[in-house]
Amino acid sequence: MHVLFVEDESKIASFVQVGLKEQGFVVDYCDNGDDGYKRAIAHEYDVVLLDIMVPGKDGLSILRHLRRSGKNTPVILLTARNELDDRLEGLNLGADDYIAKPFFVEELVARMHAVVRRSAGDRQNSLSVGSLKLDRITREVTCNQQIVELTTREFNLLEYLMRSPGRVFTRTQILEHVWGYDFNPNTNVVDVCIQRIRKKIDSTDDSSWIESVRGVGYRFRKPELP
């Protein structure tokens, strides 16, 4: 998942980012509400983690403007305040969940999976194209019923392409979603990672699942109809 995390407490921000990245998430971090709002509006995220009390636009204001603008990205509110009024206001504004500090990263991850499942539907728990299957919960990939060992980055890239078979993604789009928006756009890491994935999944199949589109980027091959 590609996550936007808006939090101004440095200690909390640090341990949450480390915990999420260990779980395979790509995290964009902002320490103030103004920057967080700009990113949330300008880009597509799988989930937004939003502290209520941040400098600039506060979390509830950000949430209110996101929903008014038509953004339906799942939002989990983070706050040290446990008053009922805060919880109700956040939920009424369109928050998908609410977690009070302090919390365990494991619980946060579980809640993130839950809100994404609810927003996208249970079909998104696993992706299947032809003989290739990817489980987003267990993070297991199989091809022709053989387990394929992928690194975290390789798994995230493959998942991103498998979500939309036949759709062409530019290298910039892939970089932004899998590596993060601040990554150097002139690097060749996308091509290198694609080559590694191909070696692992194409060795168990007859043709390449990931196709190159010259001058544009890559797409995941649609399976041939019987």
Within 8 A by CB and 6+ apart from 157, the residues are 174, 178, 190, 193, 194, 197
Phi, psi of 96 (to 5 degrees): -90, -25
Tell me what the mean pLDDT of segment 153-158 comes to.
92
- For 124-220, give the CATH class: mainly alpha
Domain boundaries, the chain: 2-120, 124-220
CATH superfamily of 2-120: Response regulator (3.40.50.2300)
Tell me what the mean pLDDT of segment 103-123 comes to.
81
Reported as a single tens digit per residue, the pLDDT across 56-87 is: 999 999 999 998 888 888 999 998 766 667 77
Res 205 pLDDT > 60: no
Whole-prediction pTM? 0.64
pLDDT at 191: 93
Q: What's the pLDDT band for 121 if we cut at 50, 70, 90?
A: low
Q: What's the pLDDT band for 225 if we cut at 50, 70, 90?
A: very low
Alpha helices (H) along 69-151: 84-92, 105-120
**Are the folds of 2-120 and 124-220 the same?**
no
